[in-house]
Amino acid sequence: MKKEVEISALQVGHYVEKIVKQEQQFTLTQAGHIKSELVIKNMIAKGVLSVLIDTNKTIKHQKPITKNNNSSPIIMDVYKAKELFNQSKAIQKKIFSDAQTGKPLDLSPVEQITDETITEIFKNPDALACVINIRNTDEYLLEHSVSVSVLMTIFARFLKIEKSIVQQLSIGAFLHDVGKIMVPEAILNKPGKLTEDEFVTMKTHVNHSIDIIENTPGISALSLEVAALHHEKLDGNGYPFNVAGKDISTYGRMISICDIFDALTANRCYKSGYSHIKAFNILRNLAESNHLDQRLVNLFIKCMGVYPVGSLVELNSNKIAIVEQRNLEDPTNPKVRSFYNSKQHNYVMTEDIDLAKNNDFIVKGVRADDFDLDMNKIIEFLLMEG
């Protein structure tokens, strides 16, 4: 029997046919059972008011999926990580607004959100690394700054840098592009190549960032240093001060890598991002050209993993899967969860696959866009599937 129920009455075990009433434009990828309370919370957050369920398909006494069984730990943690990422974006938006109007930046919310982010990353860096892949093309400026801060923290944790230093690095990365609010939007979001004069204007964003950060009460010298060095190159041809070689600190070299990696992999309103594998190759080429630190580039790739958690891969079996867990002993064969058939172009029942113990293998790293898919909907589907 099919009946409409309010979202407050929805329970684990119910079989949802479709959404009946909602305040937004959320869609289900397919009908299915509610497998955890987290799925219900996510639907509430998306503005769902009521759904149509099939009571004949209700699974009674179903226990919520937890990390103690065969569920996906990453997908379950992504929900919390997304909330933290969105809070960071809200703070970033206020930062940009204050900078634009000439108000001194309030550092306290930045310190609080970066501290929370560091805590989560030190517990589980993979969930926030996964969230970085779920981006809005029209919010690049906000999301880039947050993402670089997250990447910087993940990288610093990997390098075993002490937490007190990590927070200063995270704050510097969080604020590194605040000066872009002073660059005309026509230049900032220009889809084609910038003219020489436009590029000169674009480069001034670092000077603006330095001025704004220097006038921020309570900012540390290390946070300022990180922001000031993010576009410098080892060969001395970076900007704004042509700092070269040994004069670029380890932390300055780190943020350059994180900044370029995120810029390469992020979707923007005028271009699609590169796959992680292609981005890694570009980083290696930049290191060989003496723009980036070669040792740190290799460590960054090792930190992120050949196939980073949260990235998508195409398997030999024509399955598209999300990387859920790295395999440190066999980096090219991580644990993945398949969810889509690339040949039939449809979602399929999810399957956990340990590629180190399976005959299937990765053909290549891919992006959701390659199959006209949306990462947000992929995550929703994986949540629904448990």
Give the chain's domain count: 3
Q: Are residues 322 and 175 in the same domain?
A: no
Residue 68 inside a domain? The answer is no
Show the DSSP H helices in the chain as ranges: 37-45, 73-100, 107-123, 125-131, 140-158, 163-175, 185-188, 196-214, 221-228, 250-265, 276-288, 294-304, 375-384
Token pair of 157 as six digits: 């944790």
Q: What is the pLDDT of residue 1?
A: 87
Tell me the pLDDT tens digit for each residue of 80-126.
Answer: 788 899 999 999 999 999 999 999 999 999 999 999 999 999 988 88
Give the position of tokens 């993402």: 147
Q: What is the pLDDT of residue 90?
A: 96
Residue 162 inside a domain? The answer is yes
Q: Are residues 269 and 185 in the same domain?
A: yes
Q: Are residues 34 and 126 in the same domain?
A: no
Q: Are residues 142 and 84 in the same domain?
A: yes
Residue 66 inside a domain? The answer is no
Q: What is the pLDDT of residue 113?
A: 97
Residue 244 inside a domain? The answer is yes
Q: Are residues 225 and 257 in the same domain?
A: yes
Is 376 within 8 Å of 134 (Cβ atoms)?
Answer: yes
Q: Are residues 347 and 240 in the same domain?
A: no
Q: What is the pLDDT of residue 345?
A: 92
**The domain boundary residue, chosen from 256, 287, 304:** 304
Q: What is the pLDDT of residue 62?
A: 47
Q: What is the pLDDT of residue 94?
A: 97
Residue 259 inside a domain? The answer is yes
Q: What is the pLDDT of residue 166?
A: 98
Range of the domain at 374: 312-384
3-state SS assignment for residue 3: strand
Q: Are residues 35 and 150 in the same domain?
A: no
Q: Are residues 131 and 250 in the same domain?
A: yes
**The domain boundary residue, chosen from 280, 304, 328:** 304
Residue 311 region by backbone torsions, left for phi larger than 0, else alpha for psi between -120 and 50, else beta? beta
Q: Are residues 295 and 330 in the same domain?
A: no
Q: What is the pLDDT of residue 64?
A: 44
Q: Are residues 99 and 152 in the same domain?
A: yes
DSSP 273: P
Q: What is the pLDDT of residue 378?
A: 87
CATH number of the structural domain spanning residue 92: 1.10.3210.10
Q: What is the pLDDT of residue 309?
A: 86
- What is the pTM assigned to this prediction? 0.80
Residue 67 inside a domain? The answer is no
Rounded CA-CA distance 263/274 in Å is: 9
Q: Are residues 377 and 275 in the same domain?
A: no
Q: Are residues 112 and 23 in the same domain?
A: no
**The domain boundary residue, chosen from 279, 304, 329:** 304
Q: What angle do the packed helices 107-123 and 163-175 form, to 10 degrees?
A: 120
Residue 256 inside a domain? The answer is yes
Question: Which residues of the chain are modeled with pLDDT < 70?
Answer: 60-76, 386
